[in-house]
């Protein structure tokens, strides 16, 4: 227990230092030397707690999505069914991801060797206070940093409630993820505004959902 507390404390020094640098100069300005100097340790110590710079940036970026995780409960408050939930999760995700595209790119498209879920589970084990959602399904979704599996959490709920066929679930999930990934790259490259990215993504997702619906559904937007 004592070792775990010490590990969390030292990791927090590095993570907080990384956050500060990201806030000041952006993710591309983060280096191990800068982080170590700011945290008050030498660069070699970082490797006692993180595999590499990408691992450290990933953990620092996870801190930034606390607001998104907290907002999910609010977005889902008026959801009446699984399809509402699917769309509202996407709406919340777009609202926050396009506002901080570098952060969300670092989280959902990182250069890491192990399975993403392993890193996320480790993160929330160390920082359970960041798992702010009281909704069990959303908490499960937040543990899935593999963006494909994250999407499946809400898509298969739509299957269970009869909105789409089970054989179309993976296709719907994949198509919506491709839209998001492409739009995120446009935002990162300053090819599209925040509002246009957000509105276009939701419009495109609506068009895709309409193609797969096998049950009456009134879109809320």
Q: Rounded to two decimals, what is the model's pTM?
A: 0.81
Least confident of 54-58, 61-65, 76-80, 114-118: 114-118
Q: Indicate the burial class of 98 (C-beta count within 10 angstroms; 0-12, 13-18, 19 or more).
A: buried
pLDDT tens track for 107-122: 888 777 766 677 777 8
| pLDDT class of 77 with cuts at 50, 70, 90 | very high
pLDDT tens track for 36-52: 999 999 999 999 999 99
pLDDT number for residue 4:
81
Task: Answer whether 29's CB lies under 8 Å from 53's CB.
Answer: no
CA distances from 39 to 43, 48, 54, 59, 130 (A): 10, 14, 17, 15, 21
Task: Answer whether 53's CB lies under 8 Å from 66's CB.
Answer: no
The answer for 40, left when phi > 0, alpha when psi is -120 to 50, beta otherwise, is left
């Amino acid at each position: 227990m004592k070792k775990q507390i010490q590990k969390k404390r030292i990791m927090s020094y590095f993570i907080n230092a990384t956050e500060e640098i990201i806030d000041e100069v952006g993710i591309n300005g983060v280096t191990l030397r800068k982080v170590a100097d700011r945290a008050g340790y030498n660069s070699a110590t970082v490797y006692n707690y993180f595999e590499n710079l990408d691992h450290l940036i990933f953990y620092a970026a996870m801190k930034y999505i606390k607001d998104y995780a907290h907002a999910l409960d609010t977005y889902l408050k008026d959801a009446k069914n699984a399809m509402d939930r699917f769309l509202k999760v996407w709406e919340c995700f777009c609202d926050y991801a396009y506002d901080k595209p570098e952060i969300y790119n670092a989280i959902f498209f990182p250069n890491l060797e192990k399975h993403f879920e392993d890193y996320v589970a480790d993160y929330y084990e160390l920082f359970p206070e960041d798992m702010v959602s009281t909704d069990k399904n959303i908490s499960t979704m937040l543990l899935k940093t593999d963006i494909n599996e994250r999407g499946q959490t809400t898509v298969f709920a739509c299957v269970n409630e009869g909105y789409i066929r089970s054989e179309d679930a993976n296709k719907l999930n994949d198509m919506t993820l491709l839209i998001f990934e492409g739009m995120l790259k446009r935002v990162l490259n300053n090819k599209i505004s925040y509002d246009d990215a957000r509105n276009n993504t939701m419009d495109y997702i609506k068009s895709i959902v309409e193609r797969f619906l096998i049950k009456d559904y009134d879109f809320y937007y």
